[in-house]
Chain A
Amino acid sequence: MKMIGHVLRRAGLQIATALALVPFTLVAAPAFADEAEPQKTEWPCVYRKVPVLTAATIWDGPTITDTSTWRKDETIRKLSQYLVSRRVKEPEAEAAVKKFAAGLPADTHDAKLTELFSAVLTRTNEDRKLVMSGIERFHKRQLERAKEIEKEGIDLPPAGDFGATDAPAGEISQLSPKEEKYKWEIRTFQEKQANIPIACEIPQLIDERAGAIARAIRAEMKS
């Protein structure tokens, strides 16, 4: 009995720890440090959130001012979709850029490649926004769920009272339905929580991909 109580208490502690630590690592700078740089609690990843990937971080070509003309060019529209897909391997994406560049007339060569980068950047930011907001929503739900589970834990009988029923000595006691439900809720919560670091890698992979394509496009440009 005590063992089960201990497990539940321990699990409860893990919930409390998760609740306490996740926001702490993100926001709990001492009050006196860097107050001008508050971090949103909705962002659970260990690295700082960069809401938009701007051209200047990965591109040293012509300034990108026009972000919509590319939508009128079907080839660029399709190619940019292909390039940003992480299912397409990097060498294949680079080969596609090379092929596209080779088929461009000299007078519009660099302008079209710039347009292609603009398309890739726009699509990249659309993907990032979707993924980042998904991560934030997931984290928010986890925080809410953790509060609910914590409350349920408080309502359970004290650890020493778990299973203090009429079970004879030596027999394995059953958890009450309430305790069983609580145990499973903790387990589900923890398994979901373990997915957050994995999800946090996705925006970084998207950025990495955009950088690789930007370099591939620039390598084909003459200016």
Chain B
Amino acid sequence: MSRFAQPLPVFVAAAAMTSFGATAANAYTAYITNEKDNSLSVIDTDKLEVTKTVKIGQRPRGIVMSKDGKWVIVCTSDDNDVKVYDAKTLEFVKSLPSGPDPELLTLHPDGKRLYIANEDDNLVTVVDIETSKVLTEIPVGVEPEGMGMSPDGKVLVNTSETTNMAHFIDTENHKTFDNVLVDSRPRVAMFNSAQTQLWVSSEVGGTVAVINPADRKLITKINFEIPGVEKEAIQPVGIRITKDGKFAFIALGPANRVAVVDTATFKVLKYILVGQRVWQMYFTPDDKLLLTTNGASNDVTVIDVANQKAIKSIKVGRYPWGVVVSPD
């Protein structure tokens, strides 16, 4: 039976949930932005079902949570702002100034500074989420998108889709101190927890560059080949690396696969079949589950990280885009 057939046959679902449930100590809450529906779907990661769907701003895409887990912060691109919602009640709290067409955002480890990529303005806007004040604007390449924050908070890496670069920005003085060329249309930048590798996905190039953050030299470039899948369909976007740093999961867009990569050898270990046009992903805090947003099939695939298997498909709103999971 199909792994992503819906609903999963009762016995498979039960088996999957039993094996997973035996080690599932916490139920977290996942928040999914539905770009086309202007809504937010809330998923209970224990029950693996949608518990609530609420209308939010226009064209919601990038999403993060405040450090204390009290706020859900969403780029509402067509409203040209970032909106803050109470994570429990989902009530609107306030808008943050963001510049036009905000797409992706990342929160500094200090919990205050929010970095927002403005696709139309070629800027990264820095906002204090407590005072709602713009701290500064950083000029970057054309069509900024990916926002990777180093775990120590000292470096922000922004990717620009048209300039095909990863821009290294010092978060103390907010100046760009290095630029690294990557393949076409870089979408996401992600550091490993040890801060020894920076992974950058290139959607059109079909590759992932692994860069040494210390000297900004390319360590390797990863290519993907899936039997029976056209090369053009392999479009890497989302990247997530396990906390132990051993495995990277790469969302491959319309190839409808998530690649699992060994971070020591850079070999692709597996391609997991998920829903259609998989872009963004997020781990539960215990690293046991990985949730993927599948924009064309309007669902979220749940991957059992240890077994590297898709265990469930959950229907959400139209064009699910971003995903974040509560810290506790």
Contact = CB atoms under 8 A, between A and B. Distances in A.
Interface of A: 24-25, 28-30, 32-34, 37, 39, 48-52, 54-58, 60-61, 63, 204, 207-208, 211-212, 215, 218-219, 221-222
B145 to A, nearest CB: 12
Contacts, number: 99
B22 interface: no
Nearest to B202: A34
B181 A211 contact: no
B138 interface: no
Contact of A57 (B6, B181, B182, B233): B233
B276 A208 contact: yes
A204 B164 contact: no
A54 B276 CA distance: 13
Given A34-B183, A48-B204, A57 B164 contact: no
A58 B226 CA distance: 13
| Chain A, interface SS category | loop
Contacts of A218: 1-2, 4-5
B302 to A, nearest CB: 16
Contacts of B230: 50-52, 54, 57
A198 B227 CA distance: 32
Contacts of A25: 162
B22 to A, nearest CB: 26
A208 B2 contact: no
Nearest to A90: B298
Nearest to B296: A208
B229 A56 contact: yes
B273 interface: yes
B2 A37 contact: no
B251 to A, nearest CB: 14
A219 to B, nearest CB: 4
Interface residues of B, number: 36
A37 B233 contact: no
A12 B233 CA distance: 37
A111 B97 CA distance: 57
A207 B232 contact: no
Contact of B183 (A37, A63, A221): A37
30 contacts: A24-B162, A25-B162, A33-B184, A34-B183, A34-B184, A34-B204, A37-B183, A39-B204, A48-B203, A50-B230, A50-B232, A50-B233, A50-B254, A51-B230, A54-B230, A54-B233, A55-B228, A57-B233, A57-B255, A58-B256, A58-B276, A61-B2, A63-B228, A207-B276, A207-B277, A207-B296, A208-B297, A211-B256, A219-B5, A221-B1
Contacts of B229: 54, 56-57
A214 to B, nearest CB: 8
A164 to B, nearest CB: 38
A50 B231 CA distance: 8
A46 B230 CA distance: 19
Given A30-B181, A34-B184, A211-B276, 18 more contacts: A29-B164, A33-B181, A37-B204, A39-B184, A48-B235, A50-B232, A54-B228, A56-B228, A56-B229, A57-B254, A60-B2, A204-B277, A208-B298, A211-B297, A215-B2, A219-B1, A219-B2, A221-B1
A168 B323 CA distance: 64
Nearest to B233: A50
A29 B235 CA distance: 16
A211 B204 CA distance: 22
A117 B162 CA distance: 38
B58 interface: no
Nearest to A55: B228
Q: Which of B182, B183, B228, B233 has most A Cβ within 10 Å?
A: B233
Nearest to B182: A33
B286 to A, nearest CB: 28
